[in-house]
Structure 1
Amino acid sequence: MNEIAAINPTGVAVQDADTMPHSTEAEQQLLGAILTNNDIYDRVAAIIGPSHFYDPVHARIFEISSARIAKNNLASPVTLKAFMEDDEGLKELGGPAYLARLAGAAISAYAVRDYAQIIYDLAVRRDLIQLGRDISAKAAKVDVSNEPKEQIVEAEQALYKLAEQGTSEGGFQSFLKAVTDAVNVANAAYQREGGLAGISTGLNDMDKKLGGLHSSDLLILAGRPSMGKTSLATNIAFNIAKKYKRGIKPDGTEGAIEGGVVGFFSLEMSAEQLAARILSEASEVPSEQIRRGDMTEPEFRRFVDAAKALEACPLFIDDTAAIPIAQLAARARRLKRTHGLDVVIVDYLQLVRGVAENRVQEIGEISMGLKAIAKELQIPVIALSQLS
């Protein structure tokens, strides 16, 4: 490629046996626009970085330009020439004259965000293709130390990491928008009976302290063993699920207008044990009596009535032991997509698995992962934590 390719921002190279998806034209247009007007860099810096470029020479041009602009220095064909004169890749493209041709061919500066998005999307596609090849290669290699289940977990973690690399919509927002959002939350609390802006836990004292459970919140419920953490969590889950009503929300979307769909990750107890505890709370029959079958007729009738009432409750239990945080996030997304999801409860945090080698770092990674789930899915997440 000794000359600038024809200007075609949507011209994506078709993948063959050796070529990954890319758009040389979009990369050239973007770089040319930056070299012509450095102010354009600020419009694309949040979307892409050097690693998103397919051509390594383009990646180095972007990297050097970024470093100079960050120091308030000029990035132009003339200033970059001094840094790239000995670059072998640039020599193959025509040397420093290629930089001048990039700047000279940039005719669509107004569309730089579109070019940046194309470059970013194609980079993600290349990563997905490479990830697929890695998964395929590992699966083809029959190794007794690498079980298929472990490979599935590794693949899910890799996909989760790829998905969490960032979006193009981040950055600052105006104070006007922030104030408007705050007023809307306060108005929801004012309009709703009981004065709650969030989802009611069904526990009056807790609701007064928290104002209900709010979207994107991560709440840690910590206590020593056998202090009633799971009992409190099951109470909250049951109270939210049994009040579930679907309708049109104030923002015009369809969803829970009261109560909500609950996803309960029970890493310590089986789904059956957790269901028994919830039934015990709902029927007001001690769980040890239920286990022994030692119930009077009125108690058994209350137990059966509670079971019938709970049949229709949107409470979903996942009792997978030692679930990785990436898999937990994937299952929460899937539940939101298929049935809706308004609250996630994790019992308990220390039983979730991370990928960090150090235990302290692993707990930090899990906590950040749970907070990321809360923000991404716009739901409150309650995580129980064991104190020694």
Structure 2
Amino acid sequence: MTTTAGKMPPNSLDSERIVLGTMMNERGAYDKTSDILTSECFYNNRHKQIYKTICKIKEKGEFPDMIRVSQELGTNYYLEVVDIAGVVSAEMYQHALILKELYIRRKVIQLTTLAAEQSYTNSIDIDETINVLMESIKDIYSEASTGVIHISEAVGSMRENVIENMTSEIKSSGSPTGFREFDEKSGGLQGTDLVIVAGESSMGKTSLALSICNNIAENDNIAVYSLEMSSMQLASRITAMRTGIPANELLYSKLTQDQFERMELNVNRICNLGIFIDERSTSNIDSIIGSIRNMKVKYNITGAMIDYLQIVHINEKGVSEETKLGIAARRLKNLAKELDIWIMALSQLNRNDSNPYPTLGRLRGSGQIGEAADIVAFAYRPEYYGINKQYPEEFAEYTTRGTGLIDVAKGRNIGTFRFLTKFDRQTTHFTEIKDLEVYKIENILTSGVRDLQEETPF
């Protein structure tokens, strides 16, 4: 590492010698520090090589004494190894901690120097520089902490969660989606979760995601990233859900007086929703991740929705599209864990004309998407395919008209399950069914369509 402004990077050759010398003399010394030290913690290159040799010998199950280390390194290191082996201290662990801290200081200097240099270069995207800086800071923080907690801490957190669940009508440790069956099983969308919402074209995956965001934004702040729709189009979709006025009429038609008054009655409530839209026309994963981090700091968002995964751009050369999608999914999962937020990413499905029912194997481009996800939920509306399509046997007695099926095909901590929802085609709005009996085919045939219409929201 080069010096900065003529200054020597932080280091302690004495501590390096004490750590290496003690390891070559005392059995167990290496094991006490192996979880905090790496070869990069040693500033002196020759000390670094000696430590690597000690590690290599330990991996063979042998004791790295002076003779064994000298044999591995050869005559060029003999006198230095003998000299260092004469340095032993009972405070070796404290010196190892010193080396760790000095290494982290060098990393911070190196990182900020690089970021400063790149900031002077217009050819390097500033979002990418910021994102790399944030990722590196996260890595440094991870290295600085041990990550070890006692079981009592984990049990204490679990106990608090149990008590909270018992005192709530619905488990609401996360962001309630507005769909009772999902929320009762999951507690809502949870921080650290990567949620994939998938479906074939025209099944309503964007509508389902926006319906969930519309519900969550009543109480929480969320970020929305649409790589295909403008902020005005997104606003019209949310307004349609709230007013019953189709989005295309809000955008392109002259409203009736009744429609205008209905919109005006809801405008203030819509404006108070905690939805933040980043409308920069970028699909770059680094820019999106950087924006989510910024949204967390500025608006304390509890989650983010990205529409959709297959058009996110990954800065990786020489790898397949499948690998790129897997990388994107894993990076989003890691970000969710880092920021303690949920991230909902939409995904397309490969078509299957013989059987359109969604499955995990049909996630377009990469099975790695499903592997990275905590939850995979499919939107399925057989009504779209015609009158001959029915729901699976479990729901075959219910009409497909004005309804949709949500299939939670993967739930890392909640299991798998399916449930029916209402779907309003005019406003592309998914809502909870309060009385499932109304949607039984036999009841519709008996009472006519009036009851079904009354159950719909608009």
Give me the TM-score of the superposition, normalised by structure 2.
0.68
Deviations, residues 110-162 of structure 1 (Å, cap 9, x unaligned): 4245324313312312431552475268x2xxxxxxxx364324423532452
| Runs of 4+ residues deviating >6 angstroms | none
Structure 1 residue 125 corresponds to structure 2 residue 108: yes
Which of 78, 82, 97 is equivalent to 1:97?
82
- 1:155 maps to 129
In the alignment, the residues of structure 1 paired with residue 314 and residue 182 of structure 2 have an alpha-carbon distance, to the nearest angstrom, of 31
In the alignment, the residues of structure 2 paired with residue 151 and residue 208 of structure 1 have an alpha-carbon distance, to the nearest angstrom, of 44
Which of 345, 351, 354 is equivalent to 1:383?
345
- Contact 1:85–1:95 (CA under 8 A) maintained in structure 2: no
Deviations, residues 4-52 of structure 1 (Å, cap 9, x unaligned): xxxxxxxxx9844374343334433433443344534344434442134
Which of 61, 66, 72 is equivalent to 1:72?
61
Which of 262, 266, 279 is equivalent to 1:319?
279
In the alignment, the residues of structure 2 paired with residue 320 and residue 86 of structure 1 have an alpha-carbon distance, to the nearest angstrom, of 61
Structure 1 residue 230 corresponds to structure 2 residue 213: no
Q: Match of 1:294, SS?
A: coil
- Paired positions, count: 345
Query: What is the deviation of 1:281?
Result: 1.1
Structure 2 vs 1, CA of residues 123 and 289 (structure 1 numbering), >3 Å: closer, same or farther?
Answer: same
Query: What is the deviation of 1:163?
Result: 3.4
Q: Match of 2:28, SS?
A: helix
- 2:311 maps to 351
- 2:44 maps to 55
Structure 2 vs 1, CA of residues 153 and 43 (structure 1 numbering), >3 Å: closer, same or farther?
Answer: farther
- 2:97 maps to 114
In the alignment, the residues of structure 1 paired with residue 119 and residue 13 of structure 2 have an alpha-carbon distance, to the nearest angstrom, of 28
- Contact 1:47–1:120 (CA under 8 A) maintained in structure 2: no
Q: Match of 2:56, SS?
A: helix
- 1:204 maps to 180
Structure 2 vs 1, CA of residues 61 and 38 (structure 1 numbering), >3 Å: closer, same or farther?
Answer: farther
Structure 1 residue 218 corresponds to structure 2 residue 194: yes
- 1:145 maps to none
In the alignment, the residues of structure 2 paired with residue 328 and residue 29 of structure 1 have an alpha-carbon distance, to the nearest angstrom, of 46
1:1-388 paired onto structure 2 within 5 Å: 15-17=4-6, 19-87=8-76, 90=77, 95-101=80-86, 103-104=87-88, 106-112=89-95, 114-129=97-112, 131-132=114-115, 135=118, 139=121, 148=122, 150-165=124-139, 166-170=142-146, 173-242=149-218, 244=219, 260-357=220-317, 358=319, 359-388=321-350
User: What RMSD in Å do the two structures reach over aligned CA positions?
Assistant: 2.8
Which shows bigger deviation, 108-117 or 337-346?
108-117
Q: Match of 2:236, SS?
A: helix
Deviations, residues 229-260 of structure 1 (Å, cap 9, x unaligned): 11111121121111x2xxxxxxxxxxxxxxx2
Which shows bigger deviation, 362-371 or 351-360?
351-360
- Contact 1:46–1:171 (CA under 8 A) maintained in structure 2: no
Give me the TM-score of the superposition, normalised by structure 1.
0.79
Q: Match of 1:96, SS?
A: helix
Q: Match of 1:198, SS?
A: coil
Structure 2 vs 1, CA of residues 345 and 44 (structure 1 numbering), >3 Å: closer, same or farther?
Answer: farther
- Contact 1:27–1:115 (CA under 8 A) maintained in structure 2: no
In the alignment, the residues of structure 2 paired with residue 320 and residue 39 of structure 1 have an alpha-carbon distance, to the nearest angstrom, of 56
- Contact 2:336–2:342 (CA under 8 A) maintained in structure 1: yes
Highest CA radius of gyration, 1 or 2? 2
AA of the residue aligned to 2:136: L
- Contact 1:349–1:383 (CA under 8 A) maintained in structure 2: yes
Structure 2 vs 1, CA of residues 134 and 109 (structure 1 numbering), >3 Å: closer, same or farther?
Answer: same
In the alignment, the residues of structure 2 paired with residue 315 and residue 113 of structure 1 have an alpha-carbon distance, to the nearest angstrom, of 48
In the alignment, the residues of structure 2 paired with residue 188 and residue 19 of structure 1 have an alpha-carbon distance, to the nearest angstrom, of 53
AA of the residue aligned to 2:130: E
Structure 2 vs 1, CA of residues 194 and 85 (structure 1 numbering), >3 Å: closer, same or farther?
Answer: same
Q: Match of 1:188, SS?
A: helix
Structure 2 vs 1, CA of residues 19 and 116 (structure 1 numbering), >3 Å: closer, same or farther?
Answer: closer
In the alignment, the residues of structure 1 paired with residue 284 and residue 11 of structure 2 have an alpha-carbon distance, to the nearest angstrom, of 33
- Contact 1:262–1:343 (CA under 8 A) maintained in structure 2: yes
Query: What is the deviation of 1:379?
Result: 1.5
Stretches of structure 2 lacking an aligned partner (at least 5 in a row): 351-458
Query: What is the deviation of 1:195?
Result: 2.9
In the alignment, the residues of structure 2 paired with residue 41 and residue 301 of structure 1 have an alpha-carbon distance, to the nearest angstrom, of 75
Structure 2 vs 1, CA of residues 184 and 68 (structure 1 numbering), >3 Å: closer, same or farther?
Answer: farther
AA of the residue aligned to 1:278: I
In the alignment, the residues of structure 2 paired with residue 313 and residue 149 of structure 1 have an alpha-carbon distance, to the nearest angstrom, of 38
In the alignment, the residues of structure 2 paired with residue 336 and residue 157 of structure 1 have an alpha-carbon distance, to the nearest angstrom, of 14
- 1:256 maps to none
AA of the residue aligned to 2:191: S
Q: Percent identity?
A: 26
Structure 2 vs 1, CA of residues 60 and 314 (structure 1 numbering), >3 Å: closer, same or farther?
Answer: same
